[in-house]
Amino acid sequence: MCALYAFARTTDDLGDCAEPISLRTRWLNWWRQTVAMNLIGECSAEHVVLPEGLIPQGANSGTEGWPIDLHRLAKEIIPALRDSAQRYEIPSRYLLEIIDGVLADQQKTRFDTYEQVEHYCYLVASAVGLACIHIWEYEDPIPTSAVVDCGLAFQLTNILRDVLEDAERGRIYLPRQHYEQHGLSEDDLLKPRSDDRLQCLVLDEVIRVRRLFNSGWEVWDSLHPDGRPMFSMMWRTYRQLLERIAESPRSIVQHRVGLTPRAKLGIISQHFCRPLFRRLPVPPKELGISETEL
């Protein structure tokens, strides 16, 4: 998980740094090529194959104290990522799709249809989940549909939470076909106001995301017992965040909605204190999910 996180964190940092889009895209393409060559080809355990071509060294990303040195990052991360991918049989496709999602984010800042948003969410979230479930281990067959839905639920929750932050960056991730149904325009989401139209839009999205959470919980049935605490903790954290948004849908354009430190500590303690974990309801009925819904 540490290797996977380091890989995903580096990929996100390359996409989010303050350099021009053309340079970020160049770095991401180089990173994708490097990952593909080292995961698909035959390499010794510690050897890292680097693509030919000059990569700027030490370029300042705009993040204090973090100079981008892609050669160094590759040599630090790739051996651990390759070992994890081989040990847990993580298909390289999923890891490359994570990079594809960040690459897509460099070019596309608007989505006309829900299907376009869904594909983007698959790349940046569901592909991560499909890699995670190989590490957590599962009973065959892999619950692909449930994992995909769970990733969609997580990322769509992020999108709702970050409407204001994305607007400040000139981005709109909610699909045009949905917000126009509520009489909202692109300008309304770039300069969001707390009105009834926005509230109705958010509540409609919440209903859709709740269904995805319900479907995503089915991952639980296939997971190895050692992987269940991490999955449950992530699922319940995002699910509670969605309910915070549902309780006050207008607040997403006033501040960044989040869980309190006390709520976070409660979730962590429930999942890593075995007696508390064994008492957690399965499925999580405290959030209104019944056996019939699942």
**76 with 153, same domain?**
no
Check pLDDT > 90 for residue 149: yes
Within-domain flag for 96: no
User: What is the model's pLDDT at position 44?
Assistant: 62
Who contacts 292 (Cβ-Cβ below 8 Å, separation ≥6)?
A: none
User: What is the model's pLDDT at position 68?
Assistant: 60
Give the model's confidence band at 20: pLDDT under 50 very low, under 70 low, under 90 confident, else very high. Answer: confident
**200 with 280, same domain?**
yes
Average pLDDT over residues 68-94: 90
Check pLDDT > 60 for residue 159: yes
Residue 44 CA to residue 234 CA, distance in Å, equals 35
Q: Where are the alpha helices (DSSP H) in the chain?
A: 2-16, 21-40, 70-87, 92-107, 114-121, 127-136, 144-161, 163-168, 176-179, 186-190, 196-216, 219-222, 228-247, 261-272, 274-278
User: What is the model's pLDDT at position 129?
Assistant: 97
Check pLDDT > 70 for residue 166: yes
**What letter would DSSP give residue 191?**
S
**137 with 178, same domain?**
yes
Within-domain flag for 158: yes
Within-domain flag for 99: no
Supply the DSSP string of 52-75, one letter for each residue. Answer: SS---EEEE-SSTT-EEEHHHHHH
What is the tally of structural domains in the chain? 2
**146 with 24, same domain?**
no
**128 with 79, same domain?**
no
Who contacts 160 (Cβ-Cβ below 8 Å, separation ≥6)?
A: 202, 205, 206, 209, 242, 245, 252
Q: Considering 60, 89, 118, which residue would you say is the last residue of a domain? A: 89
- Domain holding 74, by residue range, is 1-89
111 vs 62 pLDDT, higher one: 111
**119 with 257, same domain?**
yes
Axis crossing angle, helix 70-87 with helix 21-40, rounded to the nearest 10: 40
User: What is the model's pLDDT at position 190?
Assistant: 95
CB 127 within 8 A of CB 98: yes
Token readout for 149 is: 């839905």
Residue 199 CA to residue 107 CA, distance in Å, equals 29
User: What is the model's pLDDT at position 234?
Assistant: 96
Q: Considering 61, 89, 117, which residue would you say is the last residue of a domain? A: 89
Residue 135 CA to residue 244 CA, distance in Å, equals 30
**263 with 232, same domain?**
yes
Check pLDDT > 60 for residue 256: yes
User: What is the model's pLDDT at position 143?
Assistant: 93
Within-domain flag for 27: yes
Within-domain flag for 103: no
Token readout for 60 is: 């300042």
**59 with 173, same domain?**
no
Of the chain, the percentage scoring pLDDT greater than 90 comes to 74
Helix (H/G/I), strand (E/B), else coil: 166: helix
**146 with 72, same domain?**
no
**82 with 120, same domain?**
no
Who contacts 103 (Cβ-Cβ below 8 Å, separation ≥6)?
A: 15, 25, 28, 29, 32
